[in-house]
Amino acid sequence: MPNFADRLIEAARLHGPLCVGIDPHAGRIPALFGGDTAEGVQAWGLEVIRLAGEVGVASVKPQVGLFERLGPDGMSALQVVCRAAREAGLVTILDAKRGDIGSTAEGYARAYLADDAPFPCDALTVNPYMGLDTLEPFVRLAKETGRGIAVLAMTSNPGSADFQAKDMGGAPLYARVVTALGPLIGRLQGASGWSSLMLVAGATGPEEARALRALAPKALFLVPGYGAQGAGADDALAGFVRAGNRLEGGVVNASRSVTLPGGAAEADTLEQWREIVGAAMNEAKRDLAGAAGATA
């Protein structure tokens, strides 16, 4: 199997850079699916995946915390959703933002990146605060299993200004993190030239995204902040690079705006819901693919 980066860039070339976030926010799961229970979340997540497969998107990104809030049953729902996404051939990035020292990091890596992982995904988001040795178990297993990690660099929330954007000896912390990641990015480089070590690079900071691209030419970007968080397609693609007649270099996540759009909560039937959510997904897909110059 090609490595994660090669699979993701191929999917983005085919479908444009939309990544559909699967974020079961409390109280937002339509009654149609059973509402805000583990069963409801699972049924909703499976339909989001079916629709994402039909629309054709680069990737899906389940948000672990919003499953975890429902306890062990929520984690079972996450497991079912992860398996279904990969069976549907969707490149699955699990948003867990894990990070811990050696043996515990190995535990998290095995939970998500092993071939027999209970929560199988293609890539996992991780937090770099504790240092490079805490990323090593994830990198090692990702290399072995053809999977990837997405390291938080510059996130899209206002608080990213508190530490990530602060100067650390002549460059912001996020730039220090990305520079330090250089050797790991190299180790996970695939046949496409892109690395399976992604960077989370918030769409609310296009200048930062361009700075990150200069520091890490081979890292695919996972861009949050598009849609509900306010950034437009051009800002979201600020860190992408020209490849022939289009832009490439990662995926752009949209969650609430495409999976919980206005009217979806009140849909009476699955058909109505599929129409509303499918339209929102298609619109985001076209918007991003258009801005990237893709024909999808």
Least distance to its own copies, CB of residue 179, Å: 11
Nearer to its own copies, 203 or 296 (CB): 203
Least distance to its own copies, CB of residue 54, Å: 27
Least distance to its own copies, CB of residue 111, Å: 5
Nearer to its own copies, 10 or 73 (CB): 73
Q: How far apart are CA 296 and CA 294, in angstroms?
A: 6
Where along the sequence are the contacts to its own copies (CB under 8 A)?
23, 25-26, 63, 65-66, 68-76, 79, 95, 97-108, 110-111, 118-119, 127-134, 152, 155-164, 166-169, 173, 176-177, 180
Give the relative orientation of helices 38-55 and 270-292 as an angle to the nearest 10 degrees.
50
Contact between 277 and 51 under an 8 Å Cβ cutoff? The reply is yes
Local structure of 95: helix, strand or coil: strand
Least distance to its own copies, CB of residue 249, Å: 23
How many alpha carbons fall within 13 Å on the CB side of residue 61? Answer: 27
Least distance to its own copies, CB of residue 168, Å: 5
Phi and psi of 125, rounded to 5°?
A: -80, 140
Nearer to its own copies, 107 or 193 (CB): 107
Least distance to its own copies, CB of residue 251, Å: 18
- At 188, the amino acid letter reads L
* Residues classed as catalytic: 97
Nearer to its own copies, 79 or 189 (CB): 79
Nearer to its own copies, 10 or 106 (CB): 106
Token pair listed for 98? 């894990």
Nearer to its own copies, 161 or 241 (CB): 161
Residue 120 DSSP symbol: -
Which spans in the chain are helix H? 4-15, 38-55, 64-68, 71-87, 102-113, 132-145, 173-180, 182-187, 206-215, 233-236, 256-259, 270-292
Quick one: CA dihedral 200, 9, 238, 93, positive or negative?
negative
Nearest Cα residue to 290 out of 234, 242, 221: 234
Distances in Å between the Cα of 172 and the Cα atoms of 104, 131, 167, 224, 291 are: 29, 16, 4, 19, 29
Any bridge partners for residue 200, and if so which?
152, 222
